Chain A
Amino acid sequence: MGLFILRRVGMMIVTALCLTFIVFFMTNLYPNLEKLAKTQGNFRMSEEAVNSYLTDRGYLQPTPVKYLQWLGVLPGYKQIKEDGTVLGKCVRPGMTADTVPNFCGVLQGDWGWSTVSKAPVGETLGKRLANTAKLMFWVMVVMVPSALVIGVLAGMNEGSRTDRTLSTVSITSTATPEYVSGVIFIALLASTRFGLGPILHEWGWIEGKALFKGTAKTAMDKVTFENFTLPVLTVALYGMGYIARMTRASMAEVMTAQYIRTARLKGVAFRTIVMKHALRNALIAPFTVIMLQFPWLLNGVVIVETLFSFSGFGWQLVNAAGNNDIEMLLAVSVVSVVVVLVTQLISDIGYVYLNPRIRIS
Chain B
Amino acid sequence: MEPLTWTGNLALLNPIFTYVAYAFILAVALQIVASFVFKPAAVGAVMTGTTAAGPKEWIDKLAKYLLLALIVVCLIYLLAGMVMPFGKAGIIGAVSARFAPVWIALFVTFTLSTVYKRRLGLYGKLYDSMIGMIGFGFVMFWVYTAIFVGVFDMIATGDPLSQVSGMKNKLPGTPIRGVDPETCGTSCWYLLGGDNLARDVFSRMVEGSVIVIVIAPFATLFAFMGGITLGLPAGYFGGKLDTFLSFLANLILAFPVILLFYLLVTPEIVQTGIPHYMAMVLFVFPIVFLTVLINSRFYTRPKLRNPLLAGILVLTVWIYLSAISAPGTVIHVLPESMDMFNISSGILVVFVSVVFVNSPTVFRIVRGLALDIQTRDYVAAAQTRGEGPWYIMLWEILPNARGPLIVDFCLRVGYTTILLGTLGFFGLGLPPESPDWGTTINDGRKLLSIYPHPALVPAFALLSLVLGLNLLADGLREESLRD
Contacts and interface: CB of A to CB of B under 8 A. Distances in A.
Interface of A: 15, 18-19, 22-23, 26-27, 29-32, 34-35, 161-162, 167-168, 171-172, 174-177, 179-180, 183-184, 186-187, 190-195, 210, 214, 295, 298-299, 302-303, 306-307, 314, 317-318, 321-322, 324, 329, 332-333, 336-337, 340-341
Q: Please report whether the interface of chain B is mostly helix, strand, loop or mixed according to DSSP.
A: helix
B320 interface: no
A303 B422 contact: yes
Given A176-B463, A302-B256, 15 more contacts: A19-B255, A22-B263, A30-B272, A31-B268, A31-B272, A32-B269, A161-B31, A171-B471, A171-B474, A175-B414, A180-B421, A183-B445, A184-B456, A299-B256, A306-B425
Closest 8 A-B residue pairs measured CB to CB? A321-B262, A187-B452, A31-B268, A175-B467, A191-B449, A175-B466, A177-B418, A180-B459
- The residue among A168, A186, A187, A322 with the most chain B CB atoms within 10 A of its own CB is A187
Contact of B470 (A19, A35, A174): A174
Contacts of A194: 452
A333 B426 contact: no
A187 B258 contact: no
A210 B449 CA distance: 10
A15 B471 contact: no
B276 to A, nearest CB: 14
A298 B459 contact: no
Interface string B232-272: 00000000000000010011011111110011101011011
Contacts of A23: 259, 263
B466 A179 contact: no
A314 B257 CA distance: 12
B354 interface: no
Interface of B: 31, 35, 131, 247, 250-251, 253-259, 262-264, 266, 268-269, 271-272, 274, 414, 418, 421-422, 425-426, 438, 441-442, 444-445, 448-450, 452, 455-456, 459-460, 462-463, 466-467, 469-471, 474
17 contacts: A15-B247, A15-B251, A18-B251, A29-B269, A30-B272, A31-B269, A34-B268, A167-B474, A168-B131, A174-B470, A177-B462, A180-B463, A187-B452, A187-B456, A303-B258, A317-B262, A337-B255
A26 B273 CA distance: 12
A169 B445 CA distance: 26
A23 B258 CA distance: 13
B425 A303 contact: yes
A317 B448 contact: no
A22 B450 CA distance: 42
Contacts of A167: 474
B462 A180 contact: yes
A183 B263 contact: no
B459 A183 contact: yes
Contact of A183 (B257, B414, B456, B469): B456
Contacts of B251: 15, 18-19
